[in-house]
């Protein structure tokens, strides 16, 4: 299976970096073809320009500024997102990826004013996230990253795609044992891809 791993953390010494490494190593070890997209290392520019917004709905030309990323996304059969939750949202670089690459004609098609998912080659969607805050705090604000992965991004892929969201809450107070258990849980999920 061709897996696109979207990784969004600037620090290689972070726990999220360890999660990313475990995801990539496990998928490769299982024989999957992994496209490891480290958004920071690749220098992805998350800011949509005025012209990109003006031509957003022009399917013939909207993907030109991000054509390489569009092709990588369209080749994927599995999409794995590995990211920290900051201020109950995605890092700006990952949000910018969604804004600039999940375009009309790429991730969705509009027909009679209704959107329909267009990433039908993606049959597996997995979010791997860490939160500094507790589950209770995330729950009270509606856990936007979880909802976005399991609803909005989920709506862009094949309707029958399997979707999982793995979250480690309260990372700021997590013990080594808790972090280790989460690494094991993530590895097990990648083995089941």
Encode pLDDT of 63-110 as tens digits: 999 999 999 999 999 999 999 999 999 999 999 999 999 999 999 998
Domains in the chain: ranges and CATH:
2-191 (3.40.50.360)
Share of the chain above pLDDT 90, in %: 97
Residue 173: pLDDT over 90: yes
Residue 113: per-residue pLDDT: 82
- Encode pLDDT of 119-147 as tens digits: 999 999 999 999 999 999 999 999 999 99
Look at the pTM and tell me if it is higher than 0.85.
yes
177-184: Cβ within 8 A, 24+ apart = 179/15, 182/19, 183/18, 183/19, 183/22
Q: Is the pLDDT of residue 189 over 90?
A: yes
Q: Do residues 134 and 170 lie in contact, with contact meaning Cβ atoms separated by under 8 Å?
A: yes
3-state secondary structure the chain: CEEEEEECCCCCCCHHHHHHHHHHHHHHHCCCEEEEEECCCCCCCCCCCHHHHHCCCCCCCCCHHHHHHHHHHHHCCEEEEEEEEECCECCHHHHHHHHHHCCECCCEEEECCEEEECECCCCEEEEEEEECCCHHHHHHCCCHHHHHHHHHHHHHECCCCEEEEEEECCHHHCCHHHHHHHHHHHHHHHHCC
By C-alpha distance, which of 45, 20, 46 is closest to 34? 20
pLDDT in tens, 32-56: 999 999 999 999 999 999 999 999 9
**pLDDT value for 112:** 86
Query: How much is the pLDDT for 156?
Result: 97
């Amino acid at each position: 299976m061709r897996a696109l791993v979207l990784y969004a953390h600037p620090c290689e010494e972070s726990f999220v970096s360890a999660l990313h490494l475990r995801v990539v190593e496990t998928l490769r070890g299982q024989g999957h073809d992994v496209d490891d997209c480290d958004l920071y290392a690749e220098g992805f520019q998350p800011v949509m320009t005025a012209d990109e917004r003006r031509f957003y709905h022009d399917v013939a030309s909207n993907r030109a500024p991000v054509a390489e990323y569009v092709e990588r996304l369209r080749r994927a059969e599995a999409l794995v997102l590995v990211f920290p939750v900051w201020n109950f949202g995605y890092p700006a670089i990952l949000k910018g990826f969604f804004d600039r690459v999940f375009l009309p004609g790429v991730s969705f098609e509009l027909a009679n004013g209704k959107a329909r998912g267009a990433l039908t080659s993606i049959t597996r969607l997995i979010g791997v996230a860490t939160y500094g805050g507790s589950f209770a705090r995330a729950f009270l604000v509606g856990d936007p990253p979880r909802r976005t992965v399991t609803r909005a991004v989920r709506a862009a892929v094949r309707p029958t795609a399997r979707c999982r969201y793995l979250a480690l809450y309260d990372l700021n107070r997590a013990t080594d044992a808790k972090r280790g258990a989460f690494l094991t849980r993530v590895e097990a999920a990648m083995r089941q891809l």
